[in-house]
Structure 1
Amino acid sequence: MTHATNYPLLAAPHVHLSGPVDQLMYQSFRDQLAAAPTEGTLVVAISTLGGDPEVARLMGDEVRLIRDYEGRETLFLGKVAVYSAGATFMAAFPTDKRFLTCGTRIMVHERILTADMHLSGPLKSLTATLKAKLHEIEHSIRIEEEGFRDLIAGSKIAFEEVCRRAPENWYIEAEEARELGLVLDVI
């Protein structure tokens, strides 16, 4: 059963994003926002396998500013795949303003860091280098947890559950996302 007729605005999103969440997507996002109507509901659609979580947070912050400072309703439409940084972007929208198309999956996981450290020099400077890397990791964990809290706010998912499931790449099918209250509906 389709619910698409209940949400006619979702049939023609103002912003269509697909591919990796990166600076190119951000530029496309900005260009499409500039071309979108300046009044009324703004619909943003995305399909992505993931990418840069900070770019996702940046796009999400821009959506929040539109909502908070322009007073506009903003709707999220996830299509096919809303993985990783896509879920980070989705978290910028309230759960009652989120929709998925049939068959879409969300994937939530922990942030990933790949880094090589080369230690060379006076021992005291090496301690500072190691502490700086540790602070980077700790800060990234705080950002990740903030994102998890934003993603599940208003849903039936406990923070502890998302933290438990994220390390193993948690895939959530559209219908399950609706049942868990992560999205308002599946169309």
Structure 2
Amino acid sequence: MARLRHMSVSEYRDRILSAPQLRLVGGIDEAMYAEFRNQLAAAPTDGDLVVSLTTLGGNPEIARAMADDVRLLREAGRSVLFLGKAAVYSAGATFMAGFPVHCRFLTKGTRLMIHERQITRTINLSGPLRSCTDQLKAALHEIEHSIEIEEEGFHSLVDESDIDFETLREKAPDNWYIPCDEAQEKKLIAGVI
């Protein structure tokens, strides 16, 4: 009778990561969030849960909501791992920031892309002058609040890594692309599989 060999921790991790229970591909939007919730409801309720993501970006608030669902699962005692495949851009990096570094993995050849939030808005001022200043103040408050949210996400993304917040803030305006090997070297992720 053949004797079974015990798997090393890395072999176990790679086996678990190679069969994600949740597979998300495409833009991060309401449809992806619904698919995420559907797949989550159908996933096994015990053992490690692996969420695989390939995305060119999307809505950062939906990415934050998905990350919050992951946080709640972790706080309830569930082990949840992130596996980025091919491209984890923009809002995908926002979602990845919801996982601690030791739970983040990328497949070979995957790239991260991190950038600042963007806004396109035309403000048409019309009416009494006081109401015009209120319109401008409201737009400014929205921008300031969005910057605060962005910075919270940036802090979460680089927490426990070798990348400091100031470096990320400096590189983000120019769309910072990070190959998987560099992400691992900088301890932004736990490993490449």
Name the counterpart of 2:133. Answer: 127
Name the counterpart of 2:165. Answer: 159
Correspondence 1:28 to 2:48: no
Name the counterpart of 1:13. Answer: 20
SS of residue matched to 1:31: helix
SS of residue matched to 1:7: helix
Structure 1 alignment gaps of length 5 or more? none
Are residues 143 and 38 of structure 1, via their aligned partners in 2, closer, same or farther at CA, if it must alter by over 3 Å? same
TM-superposed CA distance for 1:45, in Å, is 0.3
Structure 2 alignment gaps of length 5 or more? 1-9
RMSD value, Cα = 1.0
- Kindly provide the amino acid, as one letter, of the partner of residue 102 in structure 2: D
Runs of 4+ aligned residues of structure 1 deviating over 6 Å after TM superposition are none
**TM-score, with length taken from structure 1:** 0.96
Distance between the aligned counterparts of 1:51 and 1:58, measured in 2? 13
Correspondence 1:172 to 2:147: no
Distance between the aligned counterparts of 1:45 and 1:109, measured in 2? 21
**Amino-acid identity (%):** 59
Correspondence 1:57 to 2:56: no
Deviation readout 1:7-63 (Å, 9 max, x if unpaired)? 210111010001000000000000000000111211000000000000000000000
1:87-166 equivalences in 2 (<5 Å): 87-166=93-172
- Kindly provide the amino acid, as one letter, of the partner of residue 35 in structure 1: A
**TM-score, with length taken from structure 2:** 0.93
Correspondence 1:45 to 2:44: no
Name the counterpart of 1:79. Answer: 85
Distance between the aligned counterparts of 1:4 and 1:141, measured in 2? 41
Bigger Cα Rg: 2
**Number of aligned residue pairs:** 184
